[in-house]
Amino acid sequence: MTTVVAVRKGGQVTMAADSLVTFGDTRLSHRAEANQKIFTVEDAAGQSLFAVAGAAAHFLVLQHALAAQPREALLFGSKHEIFRTFTLLHPVLKDSFFMQTKEDEHEPYESSQFTMLMANQSGIYGIYSYREVFEFKQFWSIGSGRSFALGAMHAAYDIKSRSSRDVAEAGIAAACEFDRNSAPPVDVLTLKLKVSK
């Protein structure tokens, strides 16, 4: 699995991710494969940071699917824009990338199979398999180490001297320390928020 965190604080938003890849019980460290879990997408409003937890194929599929879309179709400035963008992307994922949409027989909608974290100048968003979108006001984490990361970020967030980067690094460090499927080195990227809330 993986651990990805995102934090908004002090007019900035920071995303951090570990670099370990696992195949069942096999670990593929950064020395064996130069794995980077955060990628950027440019839309009309600016740059967005994305990371995906789950199958390693998601990373390349999502990068290529988003890159193939017209720039004006990529809207990531609010929950509703993100929902619309990923609803329009869903048939592309099925038809061009052969995504399997079935999770179980009682599912309410076709699944897009992704668990994503996105950060940009408008904030932090989680995008989940039924294209549901959540906006997080302080911080969030996805992946196998998320519980450790959330606990560490909760403890660090209200310390005034801690920046968004400091809080994100605390979260990812806790995940790398305690989650067997997360390991350094860590990638950390920071963007300026449009409006500090």
Q: What's residue 41's pLDDT?
A: 93
Q: What's residue 59's pLDDT?
A: 87
User: CA-CA distance, 88 to 67, in Å (whole number)?
Assistant: 14
Bond into 108 cis (ω within 30): no
Q: Are 8 and 164 in contact (CB under 8 A)?
A: yes
Q: Are 62 and 116 in contact (CB under 8 A)?
A: yes
Q: What is the pLDDT along the chain (197 residues), one digit of tens a residue?
A: 799 999 999 999 999 999 998 878 888 887 887 788 999 998 878 899 999 998 878 888 999 999 999 888 899 999 999 999 999 999 998 888 887 887 777 788 888 888 999 999 999 999 998 899 999 999 999 999 999 999 999 999 999 999 999 999 999 999 999 999 999 999 999 999 986 44
Class of domain 1-190: alpha beta
Q: Among all chains, which residue has been given the structure tokens 């290529």?
A: 64
* pTM (predicted TM-score): 0.91
Q: What's residue 141's pLDDT?
A: 98
Beta 12-17 vs 3-9: how paired, if at all?
A: antiparallel
Q: Hey, where are the domains in the chain?
A: 1-190
* Helix-strand-coil split of the chain, %, nearest 5: 30, 30, 40
Q: What's residue 150's pLDDT?
A: 98
Q: What's residue 197's pLDDT?
A: 47
